[in-house]
Structure 1
Amino acid sequence: MKLWKSGLAMMAALAIGGVATTGALAQAVFTWTPRTVAPAPYKAPNKPRTTLAEIRAKMSPANQSKTWHQKVVSDQQLQASWVQLAVGDQSPAMFISDTRAAFIVWEGSIEFTIAGQAPFIATKSSMVQVPPRTQFQMKNVGSVPSLHFEVFTADARITYPQAAATLPKPRPGFTWQLTRQDPGPEPLNPPGQTSNVTTRNFIAQPGAFEFVKAPGLFVNAIRGSAFNCNMQSPTTLGHRHINYGEFWFIMEGQIQYNIEGVDPFVSEVGDIVYVPAGRWHSAANYCPGNDTRVAINPFPTGTHNWPPTASQPNPPVPPVSGRGWLD
């Protein structure tokens, strides 16, 4: 039996089950999209697959119980890091000026103090988000070092409360100045939306769900299962995004990936999988049991570009003439 793979497969199943799709969904739109002649390169620290064992191997024995940051994703839209907090250590109290951040606690116990919320302790598989201009702080309150995965936008700007005892060294060419922040904290959800919550523990509440859905950051848990341990065909392209890279936190089970220019591989729990903008990629649940990948990208309704099928139009590229509208 074939793996239960993509949204297209799901739509097909819905159609077979008698659930009609809307005219807008049923109508296929084809566009000529730009494509690099060679696959978009991987630029450090980005890698197709980063394992937690690789991250730990970079730490010297003297630093294994200390606080450290290790960036694993950095592109034009997003940045993400593994962060360990030593026992008793805490982040500074801070704000994010105009964008959101998301956190996945993986080891230990972290107390989150977020303005407008009662402090809470996040443990393994807890997902947390902080809206713009909302003061927050993290503290390791456990008896062992804590570990979490954090995602910020690439253009995130951190500010610090007036009462801060110290300030970090500013970026080159900058200094610190006290200003009045306006407007106030951004609401968790815009009018008419209820999907954003401050925290959810995946172990306690497993499932498929949108966790962060906001301009500049989309964190989406995709859960499914496979009927066997068959790899996808190497010819399965999947889709590509011409405007942004995408990455996944493997929360549960195993996910098999086809990424253009990379040998097919199976990812495990705790892995970070990344694909640059423009590369074909396809993810599939692997082996029986539940599999969950947390997809992370900058666009809640980002465009997916799929290759035409044999039954769809695939004409030759028209003659190239003149300049692009924005060139």
Structure 2
Amino acid sequence: MKGFRYLGAAFATVAVALAASAQMMPKDEPMPVTAQKMPEEYWSAKPSTPTPYVAPNKVHWKLSEILAAHRGQTDWVQPIVRNPQQDADYISLGVGKKTKRRMYADDRVVWIVQDGTMKVSIDGVEPFEATKGFMVNVPFRHFYSIETVGDKPSLRFEVRHAGSPPLYPLSETPDPYPGRTYVKVTGNPGPAQIGDSNPIYLDFWKQIANGDKPYNGKFVWDDHFTSNILRGKAQPVPPESNVGHFHVDWTEFWFVMEGKVNYKIEGYPLFEAQQGDVVAAVKGRWHRPSNSPNAPMSTRIPFNPRPVILHNFEPAH
């Protein structure tokens, strides 16, 4: 994500009826930094050998291959990303199936609907239906459930805080979780506040994908989770000499929401990712995403564990 720029625009109201007030699109907020870039050159710590991809992590997960691997199945989970900060899976839920109500203790869970229709029920929010292109955000300590409606399974790409077990109301029987035992408790403080700058949902195809209008804004933003929306027109493939940037401490990964995106990642030849694919650059590897010349408009959704992570570029000489 070259240059974490957030446009100063006010956005329309998201049509979600809340108990107290209407849920709003992301607000324009200043970045918690003093300038857009570092004022001078410096030495950055890069791994002496490239950080390896350890399964299930890999540089390019193709949606077509994921679907082929689960052909004939309706309920399945495909692990996609595992790192010390974030976990991500592709999850299919069969027709008429409903998840157990659950919540997460201290961090939000976010997903993008890839296919089908789901009814989403979140405590404190009027239930709503989400279809392809919806981006859904459940704040911490809000019980929620997902139910597939319609005539085909719902498919979502879900991102969570790494290693975070779900918690359940007493009305549910918890699913086993490795290394944990579920016990009855009470707790405080209460659920996260709803109605801040992080929307409960966003309908990409209705609210963002307006003709050939570029977009650069955030979806969710907190101290443990950052995801923004980068939409732009087709562009020529950058020269091989442009290696992009790397991150010292964090892995960055992207969901291709629209069109096609070219990636050059250290150790791999240039490749093109299509809608629904997931691409990852493990920490310390040079990487350079760019909108493909083979699609009029393309959008990628990056996921990062911190705002704003340092982008280390080669000096311009």
The verdict on a shared fold, with TM-score over 0.5 as the criterion, is yes
Query: CA offset at residue 8 of structure 1?
Result: 9.0
Mapped contact 1:249–1:272 kept (Cα < 8 A): yes
Is contact 2:6–2:217 with CA below 8 Å preserved after alignment? no
Could you tell me the percent identity over the aligned residues? Answer: 34
5+ residue gaps, structure 1, are: 12-21, 311-327
Matched, 1:250 2:252: no
- Select between 110-119 and 288-297 the one with higher mean Cα deviation: 288-297
The alpha-carbon deviation at position 176 of structure 1 amounts to: 1.5
> How do 1:75-154 and structure 2 match up within 5 A?
75-154=83-162
Greater Cα shift, 123-132 or 151-160: 151-160
Q: Which residues in structure 2 correspond to 1:96-245 (within 5 Å)?
A: 96-164=104-172, 166-172=173-179, 174-188=180-194, 194-206=196-208, 207-227=215-235, 230-245=236-251
The separation in 2 between residues aligned to 1:32 and 1:284, in whole angstroms, is 26
Q: Distance in 2 between matches of 1:296 and 1:60?
A: 28
One of 40, 46, 53 as aligned partner of 1:42:
53
Match of 1:30 in 2: 41
Q: Letter of the 1:280 partner, please give it.
A: W
In structure 1, C-alpha distance between the alignment counterparts of 2:6 and 2:224, rounded to whole Å: 27
How far apart in 2 are the matches of 1:298 and 1:157? 18
Task: Report the Cα distance in structure 2 between the residues aligned to 1:280 and 1:102, rounded to whole angstroms.
Answer: 27
Alignment pair present for 1:71 and 2:79: yes
Kindly state the Cα deviation for residue 291 of structure 1 after the two structures are TM-superposed: 1.0
SS at match of 1:55: helix
User: Which residue of structure 2 lines up, in the alignment, with residue 15 of structure 1?
Assistant: none
Matching residue of 1:307: 314
**1:232–1:258 CA contact under 8 A, matched in 2:** no
The alpha-carbon deviation at position 27 of structure 1 amounts to 5.4
Per-residue CA deviation, residues 26-62 of structure 1 (Å, 9 max, x unaligned), is 652433222211111111111111111111122253x
Name the counterpart of 1:319.
none
Q: Which residue identity does 1:270 align to in structure 2?
A: G
> How many Å separate the matches in 2 of 1:136 and 1:115?
6
Q: Which of 266, 279, 295 is equivalent to 2:285? A: 279
What is the CA–CA distance in structure 2 between the aligned matches of 1:176 and 1:298, rounded to whole Å? 27
SS of equivalent residue, structure 2 residue 245: coil
**Cα pair 2:6 2:216 within 8 Å, conserved:** no
SS at match of 2:64: helix
2:262 matched to 1:266? no
- Distance across 1 between alignment mates of 2:280 and 2:292: 18
The aligned counterpart of 1:58 is 69
SS at match of 2:79: strand
Q: Do the aligned partners of residues 29 and 156 (structure 1) sit closer, same or farther apart at CA in structure 2, a change above 3 Å counting? A: farther
Q: What is the CA–CA distance in structure 2 between the aligned matches of 1:255 and 1:27, rounded to whole Å?
A: 27
Correspondences of 1:309-324 after superposition (within 5 Å): 309-310=316-317
Q: In structure 1, how many angstroms separate the alpha carbons of the residues matched to 2:276 and 2:256?
A: 5
Structure 1 pair 158/291, CA: closer, same or farther in 2 (3 Å)? same
The alignment status of 1:290 with 2:301, answered yes or no, reads no
Give 1 or 2 for the bigger CA radius of gyration: 1
Residue 67 of structure 2: SS of its match in structure 1?
A: helix
Contact kept, 8 Å, 1:98 with 1:157, in 2: the verdict is no
Aligned residues: 285
8 Å Cα contact 1:110-1:123 kept in structure 2 = yes
Once the two structures are TM-superposed, the CA of residue 175 in structure 1 deviates from its matched residue by 1.6
Distance in 2 of aligned mates of 1:30 and 1:55: 42
Corresponding letter in the other structure for 2:3: G
- Aligned-residue CA RMSD in angstroms? 2.2
Q: CA deviation at 1:226?
A: 2.3
Say if 1:126 and 1:60 are closer, same or farther in 2 by CA, change over 3 A. closer
SS at match of 1:212: strand
- Partners in 1 of 2:304 and 2:274 — Cα distance? 20
Question: Deviation at 1:279?
Answer: 0.3
Native 8 Å contact 2:5 2:217 kept in 1? no
